[in-house]
Amino acid sequence: MVRRMRSVPDLHVEWIEDEAIVLDTHSGELHYLNPPAALVYALIAESGYPNTLQALERHRADLYALHDALDELIEGMVDKGLLLDD
């Protein structure tokens, strides 16, 4: 199944070097993204899920581990209301 992820609108993101803080301006909820999560979030927000996957696959030899880690990160961000899975 091909995912069609995109970032949720109306979120305010503050980037500090390779980390981020995301504020849901409606609920006031705050989220901290560590460097791997912030990288995935930024890539998906900028260029969508298929391009993000391709970009990451170019740098990782172990694709099964990459897909597992990516799925876990993305599920976490969907659960927290940072990404939408269309």
Partner 1 sequence: MWADSRWIAAPDGWLEARATAAGALDRLELLEPGLPPAGASRFEGVFSVVVNDRSKKLRRLPTLYFKKAPVFTGRDDIEVVRMTTSVAQTVMRSVTSPTYLVTACEIHRRLGLYARDVHNRSSYRLKLARVGGRFSENPFVTFAGKGTFECHEWGAFSPEFVVLGLPAPDDVVRTTGALLVFLIATRRIRKLSSSELHELVGALGTLEALSADDPELLATTIGG
Contacts 24+ apart (CB under 8 A), 56-65: none
Judged by CB under 8 A, the stretch of 21-29, 44-52, 53-61, 69-77 that binds partner 1 is 21-29
3-state secondary structure (DSSP) of residue 70:
helix
Minimum Å gap between C-beta 14 and partner 1 is 5
Residue 33 interacts with partner 1 (CB under 8 A)?
yes
Residue choice 6, 7, 8, 23 for contact with partner 1 (CB under 8 A): 23
Distances in Å between the Cα of 40 and the Cα atoms of 6, 25, 27 are: 11, 21, 23
Residue 83 interacts with partner 1 (CB under 8 A)?
no
